[in-house]
Amino acid sequence: MMAGLLTYLRTYAQALPVVEQVASKTLEVAKSIIRAGQVVRRDLTASDLGITDFKLEVPAGNTGEVDYIGSASSPVTVPDRKAIGIYGIVLEKEDENVHVDYIDLYVGGSRVRRWVLHPIKDGADTGKTLYLTSDQAIVLKEGSKFYVKVRAVNEDGSNPHDVRIVFLGFVAEPANEVIAKA
């Protein structure tokens, strides 16, 4: 157990500079867009990416890519006066029938990032966390159209299975504005 904790702490310590860099860059991009008033930074949520939950249903017998966030024909658009920064991905404990190989991020119709997930080990028994390097991290500004595809294999030919893929990041936006009304 102690070795697992040390591995986790070492991984997080190595990732911290990238987390700070993405946080600063996200805030910087938002300030350049907003230009007037204060800008705040908060943690990224599923709704910021156009989904209700960080859950992907992998169809029975699937062996290829699955649309996760948006699609080529219906991409998600970063709202006006906002910036989104992504510094990590958590693949929560996988279902024994489903194996996620990689995640592709497309911006403006072109693939800009491929994050390979299958070899990740962070010492945690609750899932796998990939902290991105500075050249893998990304900041999307207002108006960016994006979508995410996941290569997931479902070895169960009869039933779909869910997998949780959580994006770690920040959103920078104008302070004191209503984000959503209930």
Give me the percent of the chain exceeding a pLDDT of 70: 74
Domain spans of the chain?
2-174
Cα–Cα distance, 172 to 85 (Å, whole number): 8
**Tokens coding 94:** 């996988």
How far is residue 103's CA from residue 125's CA, in Å, rounded to a whole number? 21
| Stretch 87-112: mean pLDDT | 86
Residue at token pair 């991105």: 132
117, 122, 123, 124 alpha-carbon torsion, rounded to 10°: -70
Residues paired with residue 77 on neighbouring β-strands, in sequence order: 145
Please compute the mean of the pLDDT values over residues 137-159 and round it to a whole number: 91
- Judged on CB neighbours under 10 Å (0-12, 13-18, 19+), 26 is buried
CATH number of 2-174: 2.60.120
How far is 106 from 140, CA to CA, in rounded Å? 11
Give 112-147 pLDDT, tens digit per residue: 999 887 555 444 455 676 667 667 788 899 999 999
pLDDT bracket for residue 106 (50, 70, 90): very high
Inter-residue contact 154 to 160 (CB < 8 Å): yes
Half-sphere exposure of 108 (CA within 13 A, CB side): 6
How far, in Å, CA of 102 to CA of 180, rounded? Answer: 32
